[in-house]
Amino acid sequence: MSKQSKIIVALDFSTEHDVMELVDRIEPSMCRLKVGKELFTRCGPALVKKLVDKKFDVFLDLKFHDIPNTVAKACSAAADLGVWMINVHALGGEKMMSAARQALSDDNAPLLLAVTWLTSSGQSELDALGIKAEPQEMVSRLAKMAYNSGMSGVVCSAQEASVLRRDFGEEFLLVTPGIRLLDSKQDDQCRVVTPKKAIEDGASYLVIGRPITQAEDPCKVLRTINQDIC
């Protein structure tokens, strides 16, 4: 296993104690880590810094969406934590994404992604907004805006990866949640894809939570997936 692991473990825990119980069992060579809204709101920047100090690549998944100036400043504050990757909502528009991009000009800046259309939102949400498009079309439109605004890539469903890979080329990062092993529970995810299939379809990194965090032996699961997708 190398530093290049394509697995990002979603730390969907509510206490630092639970996080450290997992983190103390794994190595930065096995995976990267994702800190989302719940954990960040409960434990704050101090925990993020602790994970960075342990040499983990941290994806700070706060999905910023606000006026361009506010998002730019939030991105700059996130970069100061030394994280590897951050994100904004593509729905905030090209001006907002460009402002975020410009706020991250130095060489050590984190990768900046945009979330396209959340996988929890479907046709009825688009209809309610009066948007005459299907979810896949919406994802492509938002990904194009992200690409034009200089984003490093997008967060998308693994089921959208092959189309986006074809349309935006090899350099554009595709980070995909909704990953399940053949023998793992589906939980509340509706459309799941195996790690191998997601990588074959063009995903750059896989966000995986419960199949790893709830496993009896998380290291074993990480080893298996890393071997499966290398």
Q: Which of 55, 63, 73, 196 is catalytic?
A: 63
Between CA 198 and CA 138 the distance in angstroms is 20
What are the distances in angstroms from CA 214 to CA 54, 91, 190, 217?
Answer: 22, 32, 19, 9
CA dihedral 220→24→189→164, nearest 10 degrees, is -90
Instruction: From 13-21, 78-86, 92-100, 202-210, give the range in contact with ligand C5P by CB under 6 A.
Output: 202-210
Between CA 203 and CA 126 the distance in angstroms is 25
Beta strands in 21-110 (DSSP E): 32-35, 58-64, 85-89
Instruction: From 46-54, 91-99, 159-167, 201-209, give the range in contact with ligand C5P by CB under 6 A.
Output: 201-209
x-or-dash pattern for ligand C5P, window 116-155, by CB under 6 A? --xx-----------------------------------x
CA dihedral 26→107→167→127, nearest 10 degrees, is 80
Instruction: From 16-24, 25-33, 44-52, 204-212, give the range in contact with ligand C5P by CB under 6 A.
Output: 204-212
Q: Which of 135, 177, 202, 218 binds ligand C5P (CB under 6 A)?
A: 177
Q: Which residues are catalytic?
A: 63
Binding site for ligand C5P (CB under 6 A): 10, 12, 36, 118-119, 155, 177-178, 187, 189, 207-210
